[in-house]
Amino acid sequence: MEASSTIAAHDPEQMRVILQRHLQASEQVSIRVQECRITNTRRRDGLRGATQYELRLEDASTGRVWDQIVTGITFGGDRTRRVWETISLTAEPSPEATVRSAVPNFAYVPELDLLLQVFPHDLRLPALAKLMAGPPPELIPLLLAELGSSEYELLSWTANVVQYRADMRAIVRLTIVATDPATGQARERQFYAKVYRDAEQGRRASRAQADLHQRAAAVGPHLVVAKPVIYDDVLRTLVTEAVSGTSLSKLIRRGRDSVTAVRVAARAIAEFHGLDVDASPRSIAQEMDRLHEAQQFLASARPDLVDDVSVIVEAVVIGLSEAPSALIHGDLKPDHILIDGDRVALIDFDLLGHADPVLDVAHLVAFLGRPEERSKSRSEETADTAQEFVDEYFRYAPDAWRARLPLYHAMTSIHKAVGLCRRRGADSQPLVEEILREGQAFLISGGDGTVPSYKRRLTRSAVR
């Protein structure tokens, strides 16, 4: 897009007016956009990217008001317009499409060369709208079999989206109720369906989920991985059973038994790192390449921080010349850890790989140290959940690994700073400095693996 078009696409008030003009399903329906907020922006280069809008809509004919997610995508060149022309030629009227939202599934803004996707419709994730509309016949027999028999009769199907990354992937919680025709008894079960953009990615995820489930079950009762139920290649959707548990983030915020929870999680994660599961390797050299790419991006996006970033990068490169390789989760954070007594379920394995396990530890510690992940209970204000996790983890993992934790945490801070610069506006830029201060504080703490308190991290003068 040209500069003026790019500015318009990222101006909430301009987009409110533009979207109101283009989000009209028919002449009989009049939609008013009361409010427009930009909730996420993802740019690949100057021509391609996606912007997610959260709208407050009103149907003027009925007075109904609701919230609606709309994503604006541009592919660069004349591809966006050609994609829209293809959609216009191939789209079939869908009776359920306008019942909930009274807006079109897709629309095109020619003055901005912007393709609009109205949630749950997504060009890259066509199965998402199908799951939300009703039970796809491809999935029903196996889901009913999980209840007891494929002869069961489906009574109800409820689909709720729990995670959505436009143009990339989505997770849907499925609740089905079915009856046994012989007894008339009704049974209810929950499943999770993950919709992938790429079929091969979905196949890999399905194979990994099956392998992880089997290997975790063989280790013992403490580590749990959900059983895969079905992978449908046409829908590019993996369905797994629902596993019980409360996320570690919720337990820490509640403040009840948070120390016990992080210790239980630490043991399970150490067991996970010992699983013999096939996954893509991630070498130290690859990590260093990613780190230098991140450094170059920050040099362009935040030239005022070049010296501070260089100090962190140099320390990481020197310190991480070699490391062991084992199974890692790749995106370990409190929301991906479910605790049920002494049982720990891990979820979301899209970044599964073979690398240094301390990568996982550092990634999780970065979340455990944040104020929103700390206990709200006065009785546990003195408990440092990050340090408790680290100490417990290294009861089951080689203690010599501790020395690499500050280095990996500093590297994580660089990647988090890049993510903030790419996805957020100018109002969040102070957070970039805060994250880099954290990384520097870990380096200053030395090689003993001690986790600096959150207050100490923010008072270190790594970024001035």
pLDDT band per the 50, 70, 90 thresholds, residue 2? low
State the CATH number of the domain containing residue 386: 3.90.1200.10
Residues 225, 299 share a domain: no
Clarify whether residues 267 and 408 are in a common domain: yes
89-105: pLDDT as tens digits: 876 554 444 445 578 99
Tally of domains within the chain: 3
Final residue of a domain: which of 177, 208, 241?
241
- Mean pLDDT, rounded, of the chain: 86
User: Which residues sit opposite 51 in a β-bridge?
Assistant: 41, 72
Structural Rg of the chain based on CA atoms: 24
Q: Band of the pLDDT at 448, cuts 50, 70, 90?
A: low
E-strand spans in 151-286? 153-165, 169-179, 186-196, 223-224, 228-232, 237-241, 246-247
Query: What is the residue-wise DSSP string for 42-110?
Result: EESSSS-EEEEEEEEEEETTT--EEEEEEEEEE-STTHHHHHHHHHHHH----TTHHHHH-S-SEEEET
Report the helix count and the strand count for the chain, using DSSP H and E: 16, 16
Dump pLDDT digits (tens) for 307-365: 999 999 999 999 998 888 999 999 999 999 999 999 999 999 999 999 999 999 999 99
Same structural domain, 144 and 224: yes
Same domain (yes/no): 143, 207: yes
Q: What is the pLDDT of residues 225-244, one digit of tens each?
A: 999 999 999 999 999 999 99
76 shares a domain with 140: no
pLDDT band (50, 70, 90) for residue 451: low
| 143 and 113 within one domain | no
Q: Is the pLDDT of residue 464 over 60?
A: no
For strands 106-109 and 114-118, give the pairing. antiparallel
For the entire predicted model, the pTM comes to: 0.85
pLDDT value for 460: 39
Identify the pLDDT of residue 27.
Answer: 65
* Residue the block writes with tokens 């280790």: 219
**Same domain, yes or no, for 424 and 343?**
yes
Same domain, 279 and 372: yes
**In this structure, is residue 464 part of a structural domain?**
no
What is the band of 366 on the pLDDT scale with cuts at 50, 70, 90? confident
User: Domain end: 241, 265, 289, which one?
Assistant: 241
* pLDDT top residue among 224 and 429: 224
**Torsion sign over Cα 37, 43, 47, 50:** negative
355 part of a folded domain: yes
Q: Is the pLDDT of residue 453 over 60?
A: no
Mean pLDDT of the 196-218 span: 95
Please, which pLDDT band fits residue 454 given cuts at 50, 70 and 90?
Answer: very low
Which one-letter DSSP state was computed for residue 281? B
Tell me which residue of 427, 389, 452 sits closest to 258, measured CA to CA: 389
- Give yes or no: residues 38 and 164 share one domain: no
Residue 183, domain extent: 128-241
Strand partners, 165: 169
| 210 and 255 assigned to the same domain | no
CATH number, domain of 148, equals 3.30.200
The SS3 of residue 357 is coil
**Same structural domain for residues 141 and 61?**
no
Say whether both 32 and 137 belong to one domain.
no
Look at residue 291 in the predicted model and tell me its pLDDT.
Answer: 95
